[in-house]
Structure 1
Amino acid sequence: MEVFIARQPIFDRNLSVYGYELLYRNSMDNYYQGNDDNQATAELINNAFFTMDFQKLTDGKKAFINFSQTMLEREIPLLLPKDSTVVEVLENVKLTEEVIKVCEKLKKNGYTIAIDDFVFHQDLQLLLKFIDIVKVEFNKVDYYTQSRAIKKYGHQVFFLAEKIETREDFIKALNLGYQLFQGYFFSKPTILKSNDLVFLNVKLLQMLEELSKVEPNFDKLAEIIQRDLGLTYRLLKLVNSVYFSTRQEIKSVKHALVRMGIVEIKKWIFLMLLIGVKSKENNELVKNCLIRGKMMELLAKEQKLPNPLNYFLTGMFSAIDILLNKRMQDVLDELPLDSEVKQALLGNNNRLKEYLDLVISYEKFIWEKIENSPVLQEIGKDKILKNYIVAIEWAMLLEVV
Structure 2
Amino acid sequence: MTAAAVDDHGAASHVHIGRQPIWDGDRIHAYELLFRSDADARIATARGASATGTIIHNAFTEFGLTSLVGDRRCFINVTREYLTGQLPLPFDPGQVVLEVLETVDVDDEVAASVVRLVEAGYDIALDDFVVGSDHERLLDVASYVKIDLASAEESVLRPEVARLRERGLTLVAERVETDEDIAYARDLGFHLMQGYALGRPQTLSMRTLGVSQTARLELFGALSATDLDLPRVVSLISADPALALRVLQATNSAQAGLKRRVSSLHEAVTLLGVNRIRQWASLMVLTDVTGVDQETLTGLVTRARLCHTVTEWLGGPGDSGFMVGLVAGIADLMEEDVHDVVRRLPLDMSIAAAVVEHDGVLGQALQSVRAYEDWSATPYFAGRSNGLAEAHLAAMVWSNRLVGEQRG
Please indicate, yes or no, whether the TM-score normalized by the shorter chain is above 0.5: no
**Higher RCO (CA-CA < 8 Å; seq separation 6+):** 2
